[in-house]
């Protein structure tokens, strides 16, 4: 049901549940910066006994950083943590767990060759002096019964499914005496039925008085399992709300934000021939699950097509398909009418495709190589930089100098490893390099994520310049404001499908948010959302 | 409290200085051990240096340096892509086998036959690593294990041919093939050094220029630095893996051909005096610097020559090999040490640091700020 209540983005974290419960944890005004990236800017969190509290936000919103601060992995730059009303500071995860704050990480901390029972007892404080295999197993079985988490205690970790490994991890944290259990995107690795089982376990734990913090960006799950939701955005609280009063589209709206007004989009000079044509493309993600389903999309010359959606709905895979890094198992990919389905990334590069990937450090940069070598990563085959397989070293250096200047990158000299540059500088460097490489198509995933306002504007300007030069642009972003500001058309991805196709002028935030939350438009593009 | 902190950037000069220190310390340790076990370490060292500096010793050093440098170059080439070719000895043997096969069974003018033998040697070495290379590129099979195991197969094949079909039956008790009728000429200006000694220097120069000036070298370096970024840049990383491994095998194979054509003249299962092993050490010590590789290769060859003298003085060749092992360990330690620096940190007193959280909670703001006096910004606790 869509509730046409006006959006409300005030900071009202004190909305109490009907039955006022005891506050267990209170984090207030937490600030944390990494190098030049401000991860948390005055975030707060209030947890009550016996509740399941969802922590919702896009990638980079600060969810994981906030929970790492709570569990003693990071120390906040500024801010206070109160546990049962008393102020605490944790210098290590061990201190936090001793105080009853336990975290189940996205990547499990289990010892694969050891058995379940052995893993559960590793580092357990009240470990008996004399250990026997039988005792370990019986204590494990007893604990499993107590918490309703059953796994064969004698199985070795590597033999277990991901869902079972997660149960072991949860059990291990519980046996350390955790009263507050934080789960970082626990369902990201689970099948739907495993996720349902996990939710049942979480509800039982909450019913026994424990507090569960559930980190996610999957809206349906958040609503299905949690009592209250705290929404973070750019390291700040947007709102804390009882889940019962929320809908997926309201959550999507709060996550992607409404308060920031960007300059009016510079209109396109008109679109030309189709450049990128995806037809009924389906592909599997890294875990082998189908991540893109029968997606069709055409991007024309001189046009920016924005891809909106909550992260993890197939956007990354879509950009990889459009650049040849991932091969679809059905459907076709064409650039300028040339069928490039199942061709190598090199063929896409030759076809004039530039790509700012989501994971810049991992896949667009060679950290150990120099700035020079990274500058020519895309263009080294062109006649300007090499002839008959021989690099023109002078031209390469001139090219690098020009790129560094254009990208406004601060560095002492171009022969240092690029790993010495800050993240923001690397990002501007990659964005400019790819804009240069993109003769026909620029595929950009979250090109401004983590940048400060000025740098983000610079990068957006690069993207608009490419479009005005007649290049086609496919732009993926979490930030709906940004998409609305620069896109000429907007499509929405949900569970691997492309839904809706809005011309930017007609796009309405409400409808896009509705599609992002999994809704369906009845009359096709531009239709009013059902009420 | 003192702890190690990782350096952001490893300084080349510091790395080389520490490596040299590693060699010196290894030699000192060896000297002390020898002295304790009753050998006159100083005298042995002096004799070793004397041997290495005579004209004959130097020529022998060059002869030994040829296969060591070539196998080291083969290994170093793999390192550019973070590939470990542990099978250089096997490729050397198969290269020698291929060259011997041509030399014994084909007749022709000497210059043509020697050229053919070299080509056959390189092809044999490349062929021997082709399986591991394809398995690594397309099946992600660890090349360390496959190339290592292929060594043993190569040795058995050579054993079978040199003791069986190709055996020289005219000389009793000789477990080697007939003598190959074609020999590499002697390098002008020397008495015993075959012309093959220039091969490592030529190949080193070619490798240097390839990696400095060609797109292919650039692609290999990028693939070694970050395979995902290489794929993103349109480089076919799997084909680069196969070609780099095959060229590495070809260099090792060519060294086998040079060995039989210039030095041993017969194929047997003992022609490689652990050259691949020495070559591996040299490549590891050089850590990618080609000039360092050549210098270290010559040093190791000199040590091997000295070993002959040392053996006449009662020291076993195993002791010399143990010395190589020590030098390698010293260098690995130096390489790691170059990446870290020692820093002093002021930490809270241990009894507070490890106190249970319950005890800390009662300490109040003063106790807490005392705890975090170092490393934290001032805080507003009230």
Using an 8 Å CB-CB cutoff, list chain A residues near B380. 78
Q: Are residues B226 and B213 in the same domain?
A: yes
- Beta-carbon contacts of A286 under 8 Å, excluding residues fewer than 6 positions away, are none
Smallest CA–CA distance, residue B253 to chain A, in Å, is 26
Q: Which residue of A has its CA nearest to B222?
A: A366
Q: How far apart are CA A320 and CA A50, in angstroms?
A: 42
Name every residue in B having a CB less than 8 A away from some CB of A.
8-9, 213-216, 218, 221-222, 225-226, 228-236, 353, 356-358, 360-361, 365, 368, 371-372, 375-377, 379-381
Within-domain flag for A32:
yes
pLDDT at residue number A450: 66
Token reading at A298: 């055409």
Q: From the list A323, A346, A420, which residue is nearest B8 (CB)?
A: A420
The last residue of one of the domains, among B292, B314, B336, is B314
**B231-B235-B236 Cα angle (round to 5):** 90
**A419-A423-A425 Cα angle (round to 5):** 90
Say whether B236 and A78 touch across the interface (CB within 8 A).
no
Q: How far apart are CA A32 and CA A81, in angstroms?
A: 13
Using an 8 Å CB-CB cutoff, list chain B residues near A96. 357
pLDDT at residue number A36: 61
Look up tokens 């902190």; give the residue. Answer: B5
Chain B interface disruption, residue of A377, A399, A426, A444, most B CBs within 10 A: A377
A399 touches chain B (CB under 8 A): no
Using an 8 Å CB-CB cutoff, list chain A residues near B377. 77-78
Q: How far apart are CA A175 and CA B340, in angstroms?
A: 38
For chain B, state the CA radius of gyration. Answer: 26
| A489-494 β-sheet, strand order | A353-356, A441-445, A472-476, A304-308, A489-494, A497-503
Q: Are residues B184 and B321 in the same domain?
A: no
Chain B interface disruption, residue of A367, A389, A438, most B CBs within 10 A: A389
Number of domains in chain A: 2
For chain A, state the CA radius of gyration. Answer: 25
- For A35, A46, A78, B69, B376, the CA distances from B379, given in Å and listed in that order, are 20, 20, 6, 61, 8
Q: Are residues A213 and A282 in the same domain?
A: no
Q: Are residues B306 and B323 in the same domain?
A: no
Within-domain flag for A107:
no
Q: DSSP assignment of A432-443, as one string?
A: HHHHHH-SSEEE
Token reading at A132: 């026997």
Q: Are residues B321 and B237 in the same domain?
A: no
Say whether A98 and B232 touch across the interface (CB within 8 A).
no
Contact in structure between A1 and A514 (CB atoms under 8 Å): no
Within-domain flag for A10:
no
Using an 8 Å CB-CB cutoff, list chain A residues near B230. 366
Say whether A96 and B357 touch across the interface (CB within 8 A).
yes
Q: Residue B332's domain spans which residues? A: 1-39+316-346
Using an 8 Å CB-CB cutoff, list chain B residues near A347. 234
Within-domain flag for B131:
yes
Look up tokens 């004799």; give the residue. Answer: B47
Using an 8 Å CB-CB cutoff, list chain B residues near A77. 377
Q: Are residues A450 and A353 in the same domain?
A: yes
Within-domain flag for A403:
no
- For A331, B95, B261, B298, the CA distances from B67, given in Å and listed in that order, are 54, 12, 12, 11
Q: Are residues A251 and A278 in the same domain?
A: no
Work out whether the CA dihedral B233, B236, B238, B239 comes out positive or negative. Answer: negative
Using an 8 Å CB-CB cutoff, list chain B residues near A380. 215, 218
Say whether A91 and B372 touch across the interface (CB within 8 A).
yes
Q: Are residues A332 and A280 in the same domain?
A: yes
Q: Are residues A208 and A303 in the same domain?
A: no
Backbone angles phi, psi at B269, to 5 degrees: -80, 10
Number of domains in chain B: 2
The rounded Cα B173 to chain-centroid distance in angstroms is 34
| DSSP H or E stretch at residue B344 | strand B340-344
Token reading at A157: 């970790």
pLDDT at residue number B242: 96
CATH of residue B150's domain is 1.10.3470
Say whether A98 and B356 touch across the interface (CB within 8 A).
yes
| A236-242 β-sheet, strand order | A101-104, A180-184, A211-216, A52-56, A228-233, A236-242
Q: Are residues A358 and A279 in the same domain?
A: yes
- Beta-carbon contacts of B30 under 8 Å, excluding residues fewer than 6 positions away, are B41, B322, B323, B326
pLDDT at residue number B310: 78
Within-domain flag for B44:
no
Q: Are residues A279 and A359 in the same domain?
A: yes
- A residues 269-308 near B, CB within 8 Å? none
Q: Which residue of A has its CA nearest to B379?
A: A78
- Beta-carbon contacts of A208 under 8 Å, excluding residues fewer than 6 positions away, are A50
Beta strands A290-300 and A304-308 are unpaired
Chain A interface disruption, residue of B233, B240, B359, B367, most A CBs within 10 A: B233
Neighbours of A287 (CB within 10 A): 10
Give SS3 for B214.
strand
Say whether A344 and B365 touch across the interface (CB within 8 A).
no
Backbone angles phi, psi at A57, to 5 degrees: 170, 160
A90 touches chain B (CB under 8 A): yes
A393 touches chain B (CB under 8 A): yes
Q: From the list A75, A87, A366, which residue is nearest B226 (CB)?
A: A366
Say whether B372 and A99 touch across the interface (CB within 8 A).
no
Q: Are residues A351 and A287 in the same domain?
A: yes
Residue A391 Rama label (left phi>0; alpha psi -120 to 50; beta): beta
Using an 8 Å CB-CB cutoff, list chain B residues near A370. none
Give SS3 for A330.
strand
Q: How far apart are CA B78 and CA B84, in angstroms?
A: 6
Q: Which residue of A has its CA nearest to B224?
A: A366
Using an 8 Å CB-CB cutoff, list chain B residues near A325. 231-232
Q: Residue A339's domain spans which residues? A: 274-363+439-516
Q: From the list B231, B361, B380, which residue is nearest A325 (CB)?
A: B231
A62 touches chain B (CB under 8 A): no
Give SS3 for A68.
helix
Within-domain flag for B282:
yes
Q: From the list B214, B234, B235, which residue is nearest A389 (CB)?
A: B214
- For A56, A180, A226, A329, B124, the CA distances from A24, given in Å and listed in that order, are 20, 8, 17, 50, 72
Within-domain flag for B321:
yes
Within-domain flag for B361:
no
Residue A417 Rama label (left phi>0; alpha psi -120 to 50; beta): beta
CATH of residue A96's domain is 3.40.50.300
- For A397, B77, B128, B157, B336, the CA distances from B290, given in Å and listed in that order, are 24, 10, 25, 33, 20
- A residues 480-519 near B, CB within 8 Å? none
Neighbours of B175 (CB within 10 A): 13
Q: Are residues B155 and B137 in the same domain?
A: yes
- Beta-carbon contacts of B41 under 8 Å, excluding residues fewer than 6 positions away, are B30, B31, B32, B34, B35
Taking chain A (531 residues) in runs of 10, the rounded mean pLDDT of each run is: 40 42 88 78 91 84 87 88 88 87 85 88 74 84 85 85 85 88 82 81 90 85 90 87 86 68 66 91 84 92 90 87 92 92 88 88 87 91 87 92 88 81 83 91 87 76 90 88 86 88 76 78 43 34
Chain B interface disruption, residue of A351, A366, A430, most B CBs within 10 A: A366
Say whether B215 and A99 touch across the interface (CB within 8 A).
no
Token reading at A470: 């007649």
Smallest CA–CA distance, residue B368 to chain A, in Å, is 7
Say whether A346 and B368 touch across the interface (CB within 8 A).
no
Nearest one of A90, A94, A26, A72 to B360, comparing CA atoms: A90
Within-domain flag for A523:
no
| DSSP H or E stretch at residue B160 | helix B143-163
Q: Are residues B14 and B115 in the same domain?
A: no
Within-domain flag for A131:
no
- Beta-carbon contacts of B277 under 8 Å, excluding residues fewer than 6 positions away, are B89, B324
Within-domain flag for A45:
yes
| DSSP H or E stretch at residue A40 | strand A37-48
Contact in structure between A376 and A385 (CB atoms under 8 Å): yes
Neighbours of B203 (CB within 10 A): 21
Token reading at A351: 């076809």
Say whether B229 and A377 touch across the interface (CB within 8 A).
yes
Q: Are residues B94 and B207 in the same domain?
A: yes
Q: Are residues B6 and B91 in the same domain?
A: no
Q: From the list A78, A355, A417, which residue is nearest B379 (CB)?
A: A78
Nearest one of B7, B18, B13, B9 to B335, comparing CA atoms: B18
Q: Are residues B107 and B199 in the same domain?
A: yes
Strands (DSSP E) found in A259-347:
274-284, 290-300, 304-308, 330-335, 338-339
Q: How far apart are CA B121 and CA B180, in angstroms?
A: 14
Q: From the list A88, A344, A368, which residue is nearest B357 (CB)?
A: A88
Q: Are residues A314 and A184 in the same domain?
A: no
Give SS3 for A360.
helix
| Residue ranges in chain B whose pLDDT is less than 70 | 1-10, 344-382
Residue A530: DSSP 8-state? P
- A residues 99-158 near B, CB within 8 Å? 99
Give SS3 for B150.
helix
Q: Are residues B284 and B247 in the same domain?
A: yes
Q: Are residues A208 and A338 in the same domain?
A: no
Task: Enumerate the H helices of A7-129 as residue ranges.
Answer: 63-70, 93-98, 116-121
Within-domain flag for A357:
yes
Partners of A215 in the beta sheet?
A55, A184
Say whether A89 and B225 touch across the interface (CB within 8 A).
no
Look up tokens 């009728």; give the residue. Answer: B181
Q: Are residues B157 and B211 in the same domain?
A: yes
Partners of A502 in the beta sheet?
A490
Partners of A90 in the beta sheet?
none
Nearest one of A201, A204, A129, A139 to A170, comparing CA atoms: A201
The rounded Cα A462 to chain-centroid distance in angstroms is 23
Work out whether the CA dihedral B86, B89, B95, B101 comes out positive or negative. Answer: negative
Say whether B215 and A389 touch across the interface (CB within 8 A).
yes
Q: Are residues A47 and A187 in the same domain?
A: yes
Q: Are residues B331 and B206 in the same domain?
A: no
- Tell me the ipTM for this assembly: 0.74
Contact in structure between B94 and B74 (CB atoms under 8 Å): no
Partners of A180 in the beta sheet?
A101, A211
pLDDT at residue number B345: 55
């Amino acid at each position: 049901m869509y509730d046409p209540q006006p959006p409300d983005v005030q900071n009202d974290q004190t909305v109490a549940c009907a039955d006022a419960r005891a506050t267990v944890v209170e984090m207030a005004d937490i600030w944390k910066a990494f190098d030049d990236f401000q991860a948390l800017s005055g975030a707060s969190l209030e947890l009550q006994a016996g509740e399941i509290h969802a922590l919702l936000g896009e990638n980079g919103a600060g969810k994981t950083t906030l929970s790492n601060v709570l569990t003693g992995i990071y120390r906040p730059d500024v801010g206070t943590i109160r546990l049962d009303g008393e102020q605490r500071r944790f210098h290590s995860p061990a201190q936090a767990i001793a105080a009853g704050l336990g975290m189940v990480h996205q990547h499990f901390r289990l010892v694969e060759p050891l058995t379940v029972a052995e893993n559960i007892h590793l580092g357990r404080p009240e470990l008996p002096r004399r250990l026997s295999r039988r005792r370990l197993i019986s204590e494990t079985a007893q604990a499993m019964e107590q918490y309703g988490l059953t796994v064969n205690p004698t199985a070795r970790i590597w033999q277990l499914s991901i869902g079972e490994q997660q149960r072991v991890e949860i059990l291990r944290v519980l046996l350390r005496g955790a009263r507050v259990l934080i789960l970082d995107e626990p369902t990201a690795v689970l099948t739907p039925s495993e996720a349902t089982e996990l939710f049942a376990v979480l509800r039982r734990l909450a019913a026994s008085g424990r507090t569960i913090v559930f980190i996610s960006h999957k809206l349906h799950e958040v609503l299905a399992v949690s009592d209250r939701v705290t929404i973070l955005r750019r390291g700040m609280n947007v709102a804390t709300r009882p889940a019962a009063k929320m809908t997926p589209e309201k959550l999507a709206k709060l996550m992607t934000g409404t308060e920031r007004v960007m300059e009016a989009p510079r209109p396109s000079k008109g679109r030309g021939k189709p450049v990128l044509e995806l037809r009924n493309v389906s592909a599997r993600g890294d875990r082998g699950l189908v991540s893109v389903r029968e997606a069709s999309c055409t991007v024309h010359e001189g046009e920016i097509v924005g891809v909106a959606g909550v992260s993890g709905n197939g956007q990354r895979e879509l950009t990889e398909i459009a650049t040849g890094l991932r091969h679809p198992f059905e459907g076709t990919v064409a650039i300028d009418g040339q069928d490039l389905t199942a061709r190598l990334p090199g063929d896409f590069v030759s076809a004039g495709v530039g790509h700012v990937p989501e994971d810049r450090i991992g896949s667009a940069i060679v950290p150990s190589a120099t700035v020079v070598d990274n500058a020519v990563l895309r263009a080294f085959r062109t006649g300007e930089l090499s002839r008959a397989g021989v690099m023109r070293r002078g031209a390469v250096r001139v090219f690098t100098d020009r790129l560094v200047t254009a990208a406004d990158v601060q560095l002492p000299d171009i022969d240092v490893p690029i790993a010495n540059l800050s993240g923001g500088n690397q990002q501007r460097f990659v964005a400019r390099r790819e804009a240069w490489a993109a003769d026909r198509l620029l595929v950009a995933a979250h090109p401004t994520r983590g940048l400060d306002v000025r740098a983000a504007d610079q990068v957006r300007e690069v993207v608009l310049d490419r479009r005005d030069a007649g290049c086609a642009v496919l732009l993926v972003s979490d930030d709906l404001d940004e998409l609305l500001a620069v896109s000429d058309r907007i499509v929405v991805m949900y569970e691997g499908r492309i839904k809706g196709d809005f011309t930017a002028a007609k796009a309405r935030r409400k409808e896009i948010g509705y599609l992002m939350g999994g809704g369906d438009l009845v009359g096709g593009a531009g239709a009013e959302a059902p009420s | 409290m003192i702890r190690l902190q990782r350096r952001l950037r490893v300084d080349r000069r510091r790395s080389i200085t520490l490596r040299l220190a590693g060699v010196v310390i290894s030699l000192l340790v060896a000297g002390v051990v020898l002295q304790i076990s009753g050998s006159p370490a100083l005298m042995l060292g002096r004799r070793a240096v004397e041997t290495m500096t005579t004209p004959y010793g130097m020529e022998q050093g060059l002869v030994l340096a040829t296969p060591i440098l070539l196998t080291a170059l083969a290994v170093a080439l793999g390192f550019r892509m973070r590939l470990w070719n542990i099978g250089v000895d096997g490729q050397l043997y198969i290269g020698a086998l291929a060259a011997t096969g041509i030399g014994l069974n084909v007749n022709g003018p000497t210059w043509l036959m020697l050229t053919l033998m070299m080509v056959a040697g390189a092809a044999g070495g490349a062929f021997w690593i082709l399986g591991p290379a394809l398995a690594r590129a397309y099946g992600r099979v660890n090349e360390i294990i496959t190339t290592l195991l292929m060594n043993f197969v190569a040795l058995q094949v050579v054993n079978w041919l040199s003791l069986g079909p190709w055996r020289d039956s005219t000389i009793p008790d000789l477990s080697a093939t007939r003598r190959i009728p074609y020999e590499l000429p002697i390098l002008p200006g020397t008495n015993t050094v075959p012309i093959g000694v220039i091969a490592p220097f030529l190949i080193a120069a070619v490798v240097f220029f390839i990696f400095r000036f060609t797109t292919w070298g650039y692609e290999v370096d990028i693939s070694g630095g970050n395979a995902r970024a290489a794929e993103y840049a349109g480089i076919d990383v799997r084909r680069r893996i196969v070609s780099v491994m095959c060229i590495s095998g070809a260099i090792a194979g060519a060294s086998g051909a040079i060995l039989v054509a210039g030095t041993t003249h017969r194929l047997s299962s003992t022609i490689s005096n652990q050259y691949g092993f020495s070559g591996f050490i040299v490549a590891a010590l050089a850590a990618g610097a080609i000039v360092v590789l050549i210098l270290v290769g010559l040093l190791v060859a000199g040590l091997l020559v000295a070993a002959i003298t040392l053996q006449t003085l009662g020291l076993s060749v195993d002791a010399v090999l143990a010395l190589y092992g020590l030098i390698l360990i010293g260098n690995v330690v130096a390489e790691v040490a170059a990446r870290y620096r020692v820093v002093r940190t002021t930490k809270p007193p241990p009894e507070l640091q490890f106190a249970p959280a319950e005890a800390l909670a009662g300490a109040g703001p003063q106790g807490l700020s005392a705890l975090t006096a170092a490393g934290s910004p001032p805080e507003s606790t009230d």
